[in-house]
């Protein structure tokens, strides 16, 4: 299970990276969909977010290897993936 600190950091990263000015960290639920009916992010947002995650956590999300849809489904999945790829070093 991903740490609460990492999930909060990811929510803040989503907001700042994608310039979601009207959204606060507390507005995003851990299991809320990031795409579609949830936050309404799109594929361009996914690319920007993936780059930000790579820069901040040194974790690359590879669409050829990783199940990107599942990883980006919500903050919980995203944080679990980052923790698993960073060998729990967060």
The closest alpha carbon to 14, from 60, 43, 46, 36, belongs to: 46
The residue among 5, 46, 39, 2 whose CA lies nearest residue 24 is: 39
Give the pLDDT of residue 85: 86
* pLDDT of 13: 97
Token pair belonging to 58: 């040194």
CATH architecture of 4-85: Orthogonal Bundle (1.10)
How large is the average pLDDT for residues 25-32? 96
Query: Model confidence over 41-67: pLDDT tens digits?
Result: 998 999 999 999 999 999 998 888 878
Q: Which residues is 37 bridged to in the sheet?
A: none
Q: pTM here?
A: 0.89
Residue 2 pLDDT: 60
Say if CB 71 and CB 81 are below 8 A apart: yes
């Amino acid at each position: 299970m991903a740490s609460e600190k990492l999930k909060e950091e990811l929510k803040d990263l989503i907001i700042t990276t994608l310039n979601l000015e009207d959204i606060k960290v507390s507005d995003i639920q851990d299991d809320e969909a990031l795409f579609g009916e949830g936050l309404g992010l799109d594929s361009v947002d996914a690319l920007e977010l993936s780059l930000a995650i790579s820069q901040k956590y040194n974790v690359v999300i590879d669409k050829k290897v990783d199940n990107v849809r599942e990883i980006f489904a919500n903050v919980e999945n995203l944080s679990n993936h980052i923790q698993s790829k960073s060998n729990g070093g967060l």
